[in-house]
Amino acid sequence: MSIIQIAIIEDLKEVAYTLKEIFNEQNDMSCNQIYHNAEDAMLFLPKNPVDIVIVDIGLPRASGLEAMQYISNYCPHTQFCMFTVYDDDEKIFESIKHGAKGYILKNENINKIIISLRELYSGGSPMSPTIARRIIEIFNKTMIQPSQINLPITSREKELLELLSKGLLYKEIADILNITIGTVKQHIHKIYDKLQVSNRTEALNVYKGNQQ
């Protein structure tokens, strides 16, 4: 069994250390890097890459989002999981647009946090109805503008986004589409991948537009 290497960027020391202890109690997890600000993480994490970084969004100076964007340039295989009070947060959506593949809620039960991390490691992501709605808007916009790359979002993924945006639970969606909950979460992970590509293309187009 491979061990999931985890790093934590969280300015609340008590929270970070409790999490670390809990992770190290698991057979399949190991955590020996804790950072209390984005700057330290940006300095040391690229040299000691891990599988999953748990990132608190609100950090003292540079934000968690900035830390993630910087570190991901050096660690292409690292997955970023945002740590947040609630999932309708605008910043969570921003993070996902820039490459985060998951988020965990701070008041989530510890067991649920651990399950979420295992799911993330095996390529599954969560998605709230609000995030689903925002992603549908983005993809609809990209479809209209022919200058941008027409995204290869499959009809299955579109269907899934529609159901998620209406607030259906993973279980209900799995039943409707006749797939497992695990597969639902893997579809979400792929949608996040595509969203990130779309976001990069958009940024590149804006950049090219400015140069002309």
Partner 1 sequence: MSIFDKEIVYWLVMASFVMPIFLSIILVWFLLAFQKKKYLEENRTKDALLREQTLLLEKKQAIEEERMRIGSEMHDDLGSGLTTILFLSEKAHKFISNKDLYDVIAKISNQSNTLLENMSEIIWALNIKLDNVGDFIAYIRRYSGEFLTDHGINLDFISEGLDSSTNITGEKRRNLFLVIKELLHNIVKYSQASSVRIRIEEKDNELIVEMEELGGLGFDYDEKLGKGNGLHNINKRVYRMHGNIQFKQFDHGMKYIITIQIN
How far apart, in whole angstroms, are the C-alpha atoms of residue 52 and residue 77? 9
Contact criterion met (CB below 8 Å) for 83 and 109: no
How far apart, in whole angstroms, are the C-alpha atoms of residue 45 and residue 67? 10
The yes or no reply on residue 130 touching partner 1 (CB under 8 A) is yes
Size of the site for partner 1 (CB under 8 A): 27
Contact criterion met (CB below 8 Å) for 158 and 96: no
Q: In this chain, which of 141, 158, 166, 200 binds partner 1, going by CB under 8 A?
A: 166
The tokens describing 205, both together, are 């187009």
Q: Which positions from 14 to 53 touch partner 1 by CB under 8 A, shown as an x/- string?
A: xx--xx-x--------------------------------
Q: Which is nearer to partner 1, 107 or 147 (CB)?
A: 107
Instruction: Give backbone dihedrals phi and psi of 83, rounded to 5 degrees, phi first.
Output: -115, 115
* Residues engaged in binding partner 1 (CB under 8 A): 11-12, 14-15, 18-19, 21, 58, 85-86, 88-90, 106-107, 110, 128-130, 133, 165-169, 171-172
